Structure 1
């Protein structure tokens, strides 16, 4: 295996990872969980369905990484929304963000659990094998990680070539390397799922 996802019989995917890669992926998934937040648990003694039907926030997050993970539904990322677009986005967010956050948490937890279940061989590596459903959860988590890191790095489409030329002395270099590596994993997983 080449360190990128490859197809396995039955519609899943597999990737060879070393201990450092496993540690980095796990750490990033835990940080994603912390960023997205714990979610609302039913209050003791209250109807658990009340949490299920609770309304979410109506304002976009102030944190740029969260704003990238939970963008406004109306208007583009660079557009200055008018009052109507702002009202529509607010209404949409109120009814969808809690579910979206829950899905992102579930995807990150799936990554952590699958990494924790790996048995590292004597050479320090392991092969991660995912079924079709796990592959989709991994794809969601990899996408979320790249979006969050890209927001932290303030990456734009115009910056992509510049990222490859950062000097080793640049303090952003480790996060840029993680961002690019996650992009390769994500692309290979997409290709695997489409094959």
Structure 2
């Protein structure tokens, strides 16, 4: 994995076409995941057939990746729903807009060098983290915690995986680890030169 290094005006990192393509695809998928679902009653509201206040509310469908991106704000289900009603739409919008900015930057830059300008670093750290959170929803707990070896053996016996499932899980886990290291290298580059010119 190539690491970020500080340069005047920001940070740079070498990135291959495979990594660029995987990250662009992941951003696109997470961006789609953040779009609020449109249900039939919302469609009728848009057509002017239902004027009730509650009809146009965003709802949160159960999805492990989405649950990581938009976690409940409280342990109590009723309080969590109230928090979600207050914050869900704004959080979705903020995260989606940030991912849109990253996608545009990554798409427009050509060649093997990625340049993150000073002032864009927090978008990148937040965007990488959102992609990591979404990916973590597809991983089993033992893939996220290397210390859980006994549980891993037990889960393999209870739920044996097919060859394709194992291969896909290994790819997702590898990409998650790559993103984690990439994010960490950007943090270290920022720490090593807190005031780029």
Give the shorter-chain TM-score range: 0.7 to 0.9
8 Å contact from structure 1 (residues 5, 189) kept in 2: yes
Classify 1:162/1:89 alpha carbon distance in 2 versus 1 (closer, same or farther; 3 Å).
closer
1:194 — aligned with what? 191
8 Å contact from structure 1 (residues 4, 185) kept in 2: yes
Classify 1:107/1:156 alpha carbon distance in 2 versus 1 (closer, same or farther; 3 Å).
farther
Take 1:130 and 1:39, find their aligned partners in 2: how far apart are those partners? 32
Deviations along 1:30-60, one digit per CA (max 9) or x if unpaired, are 11111111689xx69xxxxxxxxx7543xx5
1:94 — aligned with what? 85
Matched, 1:9 2:8: yes
Select the structure that is richer in helix: 2
Deviation, 1:61, is: 3.4
Which stretches in structure 1 are left out of the alignment for 5+ residues? 45-53, 76-84, 121-125, 164-168
Take 1:132 and 1:98, find their aligned partners in 2: how far apart are those partners? 29
Deviation, 1:89, is: 1.5
For residue 14 of structure 1, give the secondary structure of its aligned residue in structure 2.
strand
RMSD: 2.9
Which stretches in structure 2 are left out of the alignment for 5+ residues? 39-45, 48-55, 150-162, 193-197
For residue 62 of structure 1, give the secondary structure of its aligned residue in structure 2.
coil
Take 1:118 and 1:39, find their aligned partners in 2: how far apart are those partners? 32
Classify 1:112/1:72 alpha carbon distance in 2 versus 1 (closer, same or farther; 3 Å).
same
* Aligned counterpart for 1:23 among listed residues 21, 24, 32: 21
8 Å contact from structure 1 (residues 5, 15) kept in 2: yes
Take 1:37 and 1:158, find their aligned partners in 2: how far apart are those partners? 26
Aligned residues: 163
Take 1:191 and 1:131, find their aligned partners in 2: how far apart are those partners? 16
Classify 1:134/1:92 alpha carbon distance in 2 versus 1 (closer, same or farther; 3 Å).
same
Take 1:97 and 1:132, find their aligned partners in 2: how far apart are those partners? 29
For residue 130 of structure 1, give the secondary structure of its aligned residue in structure 2.
strand
Decide which structure has the larger Cα Rg and report it: 2
8 Å contact from structure 1 (residues 110, 134) kept in 2: no
